[in-house]
Amino acid sequence: MRIFDPHIHMTSRTTDDYERMAAAGVRAVVEPAFWLGQPRTNPGSFIDYFDSLVGWEPFRASQFGIRHHATIALNPKEANDPRCREVLPVLPRYLEKDGVVAVGEVGYDSMTPEEDEVFAAQLALAVEHELPVLVHTPHRDKARGTKRSLAVVAESGIDPGRVVIDHLNEVTVGLVRDTGCWLAFSIYPDTKMSPPRMVRILREYGTERMLVNSAADWGRSDPLLTRATADAMLAAGFTEDDVDQVMWRNPVQFYGQSGRLDLSDVAEKEASFAGNSILRGGG
C-alpha cells in the first residue's frame, strides 16, 4: 500500500513518526504552512519557518525515504495580526520554489475583514504563480465558513478544480461536492473525522476528488490515521484500487497540477511481494 498524506505538519513531529509512517506505507507528504501554536510576532519568524519547509524538513523526510513538499501562505489566524501581514510581500519568493506545490493554508479562522482581504490576495497569488490552493475551513461556525470560502473562491476566478476545501465533515461535505472543488478530510482525534466516519462518507459520496489526511501537528494527533483509514476502507469492502485512488492517485493528481510534484523513486506501484513487507516493517 502506498500512502500520500496531503496535509501533515512534520515540523512538529519526531523521527519516530517518520519511521513509523514509512513502515506504514507513507511515501510522500505535503506540509502546509500554518500557525505554530505559539503566535508569531514578526515576518522573520515566518521566513525561517518557510525556509525550513523548503530546506531542512524535506532533508529530514528524505532520511526515511519519504518525499516532502510544502504549501506556503500566511495562515488565516495570523492574518489578523498586522505584524504578521508584513510577510505577504515575501510570499512570491517561496511560491517559485520547486518544493512548493500549492498556496495554503488560506481561508477563514474568525471570518474577519482582515481574513477576507488576505484570503483574496493569496488566491490572486495562486493564479499568478500557477499553483493550486489549499483552503482551511474554520473550527467554529464551520458551515457558514465553508460557504463563505466557496463564495470567495468563485469570485476569485480560479478554476475550482485547482482548489481543495479541507477539514470537511458530515455537515459540510454536501456543500462542496458539486462545486468542482476537491474535498479533503482530516482524520484527527476528537475535533475532526475518524476512520469509521470517513468510510461512511466515502461510501455515500464516492472516491472521486476525495483526499484523506492526518493533519497531524503539535496537538494530540496521529500521523498513522491515514493508514488506519485505508485499513478501515478495506475492511468495509473497498477494493485496493479504491484505496490507492484515495490515498495516492487523488493527492498526486491534485498537487500534480502545480507541475512541481517530484515523486521519482517513490512513486512506482508497490510490488506485490518483497517491497510490501519491507515497507510495513514486517507488520
Partner 1 sequence: MTLRFGYGTNGFANHRLRDALAVIADLGYRGVALTLDHDHLDPFGPDLARRTAEVASMLDRLGLAVVIETGARYLLDPWRKHAPTLLDDDPTLRVQFLRRAVRVGADLGAEAVSFWSGVPPAGVTGGPADPAGDATGAASATGGPADVSGGSAGPAGGPDGAKFWDRLVRGCAEIVEVAADLGVTLGFEPEPGMLVADIAGWRRLYEDLGSPPGFGITLDIGHCQCLEPLPVPDCVRAVADHLVNVQIDDMRRGVHEHLEFGTGEIDFPPVLRALAEVGYPGLVAVELPRHSHAAPSVAAHSIAFLHQASIAAGLTGAGQTTSLGCEMTTLDELRAAVPTQGWLGEALDRVAGDPTAIERLFPAAGRRCGRGPLPGVPGWRTDEAARALLLAALPADRVAAGAEVLYRHGDSAEKLAVLKALPLLPIGDEAVPLLRDAIRTNDTRLVAAALGPYARHLDDAAWRQAVLKCVFMGIPLSAVDGLDDRADAELATMLAGLVAERTAAGRDMAPDALALLDRLKGA
Number of residues that bind partner 1 (CB under 8 A): 12
Pick between residue 93 and residue 220 the one whose CB is nearest to partner 1: 93
Please report whether residue 155 would count as binding partner 1 according to CB under 8 A.
no
* Least spacing, CB of residue 59 vs partner 1, in Å: 5
* Least spacing, CB of residue 214 vs partner 1, in Å: 24
Please report whether residue 128 would count as binding partner 1 according to CB under 8 A.
no
Pick between residue 22 and residue 101 the one whose CB is nearest to partner 1: 101
Number of residues written out for the chain: 283
Residue 129, CA distances (Å) to 69, 101, 102, 273 in order: 16, 10, 9, 42
Are 260 and 101 in contact by the 8 Å Cβ rule? The answer is yes
Helix, strand or coil for residue 155? Answer: helix
CA distance 78 to 72: 14
**Residues contacting residue 158 through CB under 8 Å, at least 6 positions apart:** 123, 126, 127, 133
Pick between residue 56 and residue 275 the one whose CB is nearest to partner 1: 56
* Least spacing, CB of residue 93 vs partner 1, in Å: 6
Determine how many CB atoms are found less than 10 A away from the CB of residue 257.
17
* Least spacing, CB of residue 99 vs partner 1, in Å: 6
Please report whether residue 117 would count as binding partner 1 according to CB under 8 A.
no
B/e letters for 177-216, b = 16+ CB within 10 Å, e = fewer, are beeebbbbbbbbeeebbbbebbbebbeebebebbbbbbbb
Please report whether residue 32 would count as binding partner 1 according to CB under 8 A.
no
Query: What is the footprint of partner 1 within residues 57-86 (CB under 8 A)?
Result: 58-59
CA distance 230 to 1: 9
* Least spacing, CB of residue 9 vs partner 1, in Å: 18
Please report whether residue 124 would count as binding partner 1 according to CB under 8 A.
no
Site map for partner 1, 43-62, x if CB under 8 A?
-----------xxx-xx---
**Pick from 19, 36, 80, 97: which binds partner 1 (CB under 8 A)?**
97
What angle do helix axes 225-235 and 195-205 make, rounded to 10 degrees? 60
Please report whether residue 251 would count as binding partner 1 according to CB under 8 A.
no
Positions touching partner 1 (CB under 8 A) are: 54-56, 58-59, 93, 96-99, 259-260
